[in-house]
Amino acid sequence: MKALCWYGTHDVRVETVPDPTILNPRDAVVKITSTAICGSDLHLYDGYIPTMQRGDILGHENMGEVVEVGKEVKNLRPGDRVVVPFTIACGRCFFCKRKESSLCDNSNPNAWMAEKLYGFSPAGLFGYSHMMGGYAGGQAEYLRVPFADVGPIKVPKEIPDDKVLFLSDIFPTGYMAAEQCHITEGDTVAVWGCGPVGLFAMKSAYLLGAARVIAIDRFPERLRMAREHAGAQTINYEEQDLSEALMEMTGGRGPDACIDAVGMEAHTTGVINVYDKVKQAMMLETDRPQALREAILHCRKGGTVSVPGVYGGYIDKFPMGAAMNKGLTIKTGQTFMKKYMDPLLGRIQNNEIDPSFLITHHMRLEDAPHGYDIFRNKQDDCIKVVLKP
């Protein structure tokens, strides 16, 4: 089959590789009909996630048609149309029973690597480094899905791929980011980053009762999307002073909740940007956390900072004094997919939200390297690329 493989920083290629097969009794093989490039794939593309190996197949936003199931998979059969969550979960451990599926104890074959860096290992992920399991991803014609009796959800034939594909990651991820803010009536929620997760966080904040959403970015097309599709007020931090604008918009109190939908490769203006880039280049910090710092500093006293943005390792100049003395709650985590996929499919079916607004580009799998390039460099107003193998 054809698959998009990682060969190094800014080097991804579509190669011919063997077809996947059933390796364990709870596996299934899915023929991919749609797969998206995620913003977090850019962290791999930019070479910031450790334990990648040449030839790794990327892709964790996948859906398609079941073509084969292992002997322990009783709830799926060939022909079923499924959306596959990006986290792999056994469904039976302490964490899975609490529906915290991204914390599954049993799905990472390389748990020891993650334990070295994080103390404990989170769940395995598709196409997201060997530390996270080394599983082949779905930017390919076929995908092997471990614990397939637990993760994938069946979707009705009449809903098009584009409407349900983002149930695989970014819609639940944005939704959980907003839910973690414990939004109450009248709340203002500020969101750093108007990429796909940020946009879903904004829409979800309104679904959960926020009075106002403020979107922060520097790319006009993304800010426009935040205004037009997510109903947000916007701040372009390259044109306005972020602090002044936020204080003005919130009557000097600060947002009730702040969401960092940027993560480890934050950009900012001025000296601090240079500082973080130099430290990252010299391996003195692995992540550039400026969005997180700003979220903590601007959040109102007693507010919540929610972090769906991906971080890999260590950060510097973390304003713990502000977090502690203002009594902030910080919530974070890879998404608890099992908890959100079914209810959010319901919201799509009820026409409360149509996630396909996000898609700016459809491409063939063969053109995926071009997709990475324009997504990475924000060219051609690229916000979301969907590949059709």
**Residues binding other proteins (CB under 8 A):** 1, 3, 5-7, 13, 15, 17-21, 23-26, 50-51, 53-57, 72, 88, 90-94, 97, 105-109, 111-113, 116, 124, 130, 133-136, 140, 144, 146-147
List, in sequence order, every beta strand (DSSP E) within 9-123. 11-16, 28-37, 56-57, 61-69, 81-84, 87-88
Radius of gyration of the chain (CA): 20
The minimum distance between CB 37 and other proteins, in angstroms, equals 17
Q: How far is the CB of 92 from other proteins (least distance, A)?
A: 5
Which stretches of the chain are assigned E, i.e. beta strand?
A: 2-8, 11-16, 28-37, 56-57, 61-69, 81-84, 87-88, 124-125, 142-145, 153-154, 188-192, 212-217, 233-236, 257-260, 304-307, 329-332, 361-364, 385-388
Closer Cβ to other proteins, 35 or 188, answer by number: 35
Identify which of residues 3 and 214 has a Cβ nearer to other proteins in the complex. 3
Which residue, 107 or 173, has its beta carbon nearer to other proteins? 107
* CA distance from start to end of the chain: 10
Q: How far is the CB of 142 from other proteins (least distance, A)?
A: 8
Indicate the residue among 283 and 324 with the shorter CB distance to other proteins. Answer: 283
Nearest distance from C-beta of residue 105 to other proteins, angstroms: 7
Kindly state the smallest distance separating residue 334's Cβ from other proteins, in Å. 17
Kindly tell me which of 39 and 133 has the beta carbon lying closer to other proteins.
133
Q: How far apart are CA 296 and CA 305, in angstroms?
A: 7
| CA–CA–CA angle 52, 55, 58 (5° rounding) | 70
The Cα–Cα gap between 309 and 283 comes to 20
Closer of 6 and 237 to other proteins (Cβ): 6
Q: By C-beta, is 268 or 286 nearer to other proteins?
A: 286
Provide the minimum distance between the beta carbon of 254 and other proteins in the complex, in angstroms, as a whole number.
39
Angle between helices 170-179 and 337-349 (to 10 degrees): 100
Residue 120, Cβ neighbours under 10 Å: how many? 9
- Residue entry with tokens 């082949």: 136
CB of 25 to other proteins, least distance (A): 6
